[in-house]
Amino acid sequence: MQQLRISDYGYLSDARSGALVGIDGSVDWWCPPRFDGPSVFGRLLDPNGGHFRLAPVGAGDPGYRVERAYRPDTLVLRTVHHTPYGSVAVTDALAAEIGARAHDLGKNSPAVLIRVVEGLSGRVRMALDFAPRPEYGLLTPYLHEQPGGGVLAGAGPTVLVLRAGDLPLRAGRDRVTHEFEISAGQVVGMDVAFGQTYGTPPVRLDPVAALAETTRAWEAFRETHGYSGRYPELVRHSATVLAGLTYARSGAVIAAPTTSLPERIGGDRNYDYRYSWLRDFSLTMRALWVAACPDETSRLFAWVARSIGRVGDEPVPVLFGVEGERDVSEHHCHHVRGYLDSRPVRIGNDAWRQRQLDVPGEVMSAVWRLRDYLGGSFEEELREMVLGLTEQVASTWHLPDRGMWETREEERHYLSSKVSCWLAMDRAVGLADRLGDRADPRRWAGVRDEIRAAVLREGWNDRIGAFTGAFGSPELDASVLALPVAHFLPATDPRMRSTIAVVERELGTDNGLVRRWATDPAGFLLCSFWLVECLVMAGEPRRAEELFERVVGNANDVGLFSEQIDLTSGAQLGNTPQALSHIGLINAAWRLTEPESF
């Protein structure tokens, strides 16, 4: 089997779990019933990891071509296969609960993968290959034909039931294979329902009716959201992707639904992104504020406040599980080959143990943004969290940390972390009148000003003519583009203008992408969108618009972004779809619309 490119995958979501379906018709990744659960289809990371392929016989022969698109404002994916003998459409979705609408989408999803085949012209012979391999390929299930049709696959704690209407499915030793013909006007619905051996049994539903219901649920969700800025189709689609990266039960937004897709093919920077990062919090809040509605932002904030709990002396973790779990300890799946042999394959993410001083600033910035919704006097838990974060920053800002890129090397005094500490103290001063008698805005303002002075003194490099990635370092880091975005310095400040120019010259590329640092072999999409924002704020809207349109051209055929772009081949790299990339698009589009909006 030839490995598909990362960009060859479309994304399905039920706001509880995510699945990737390839342009070849194969579902190669699905982790029911939670984003961070074990996969039942994992061919994305190993040829023997399990899959469910549904495509014409002879796909890839001369005269064969594929086109695909999401139904508008949904994550319902329609793939049309054109063959010499006719055309057929396969529409895929993860089922919504019957009757779910708007913000109920995903809260009680039934964990069912829907696939509906529709004959469009001629007569096409289709091939089905169902080979589940639960627990990242560790288990090969027993297959049993069911009374009334369908095949049950059971292994360990997992049960899957494949149903395909009247098709006479037969259980093989370790897979189900079947061929059938479909003519113009015919429709065949099939589904794979997940259940637990000792718990909830698989749900039985009508796949055609469930597909229509799921489509309506997504459309109703988008109808509750408005956006009046530039590039509305791009922004609405990215907002829909963010909704599909949201764990509806808690409101947590995950970084991506995949693990261990490499930042460099054959490299070892392969991490599990199926968690929610506080590092990304204020950026996520900005994007949801622009393209969603206060309900999403309020739910996300409530999840963060509950997850953090009472702040003590220990650093607040940079990431949590989707229901607020702190311990997401990392281990390697040695039996999994990895995407194009990129190892290790990691489950869990040990970045939760790191000291990252930017975290409180992200949270405090979000509190500031939601202050009008949170009331003139904060409730006890919120007040205690804000006070705890503020005092933690006041006592620790001078320490080194791992920085926003979560390096696994030694700690350093990263500039972006210090700026985030400044942001935390600045927001605390502004919120002091809501924090009761223990608020100390005069002392906090003194700490804020001390941090600012340190950044301006230690972060600026005269020889390079730019702010660099860490105090005393000559190394450029594109994270300094966040300084104007955080309002630490205006983009028109001479030092910031010089920094933007140096970053664009030294870290920019011919195709408009920006690398995080000079040794990074790939363009990082978030940093590229930050440059767009900086150019707008520096008074160069035309250049910003031109750059924005070049960067968004790196989306795949269904408008999805991974984390990075290979500078030689243009291939997408890293976990996909990547929330930060879509967040960057939304925020840059709004900055182009309203330059002083944030």
Do residue 170 and residue 279 come from a single domain? no
Amino acid of residue 67 = E
Q: Which of 188, 206, 223 is the last residue of a domain?
A: 223
Residue 583 in domain: yes
Q: Alpha-carbon distance 12 to 15, whole Å? A: 9
Instruction: Of 47-56, 110-119, 282-291, 438-447, give the lowest mean pLDDT range.
Output: 282-291
Mean pLDDT throughout 232-243?
94
Do residue 170 and residue 268 come from a single domain? no
pLDDT tens track for 137-187: 999 999 999 998 999 999 999 999 999 999 999 999 999 999 999 999 999
Residue 1 in domain: no
Residue 478 structure tokens: 């594109």
Do residue 308 and residue 389 come from a single domain? yes
What mean pLDDT is reported for the chain? 94
Answer for the pair 34, 247: CB distance below 8 angstroms, yes or no: yes
Mean pLDDT throughout 522-551?
98
Residue 598 in domain: no
Whole-prediction pTM = 0.96
Q: How many CB atoms lie within 10 A of CB 37?
A: 19
Do residue 237 and residue 218 come from a single domain? no
Q: Alpha-carbon distance 301 to 397, whole Å? A: 24
- Domain range holding 576? 232-593
Q: Alpha-carbon distance 49 to 29, whole Å? A: 9
Residue 294 in domain: yes
pLDDT of 247 higher than 70: yes
CATH number for the domain that contains residue 60 = 2.70.98
Do residue 252 and residue 191 come from a single domain? no
Residue 49 in domain: yes
pLDDT tens track for 254-301: 999 999 999 999 999 999 999 999 887 778 877 877 876 656 667 777
Do residue 348 and residue 497 come from a single domain? yes
Answer for the pair 225, 239: CB distance below 8 angstroms, yes or no: yes
| pLDDT score at 105 | 78
Q: In the chain, helix, strand, coil percent, each to 5?
A: 35, 20, 45
Do residue 425 and residue 350 come from a single domain? yes
Q: Alpha-carbon distance 40 to 212, whole Å? A: 25
Mean pLDDT throughout 189-200?
96
Residue 379 in domain: yes
Q: Which of 177, 197, 223 is the last residue of a domain?
A: 223
Strand pairing partners for 109? none
Residue 136 in domain: yes
pLDDT of 103 higher than 80: no
Cα dihedral: 79, 84, 87, 93 (round 10):
-30
Do residue 426 and residue 338 come from a single domain? yes
Do residue 562 and residue 505 come from a single domain? yes
Instruction: Of 46-50, 58-62, 160-164, 300-304, give the lowest mean pLDDT range.
Output: 300-304
Do residue 297 and residue 331 come from a single domain? yes
Do residue 486 and residue 529 come from a single domain? yes
Q: Which of 199, 223, 247 is the last residue of a domain?
A: 223
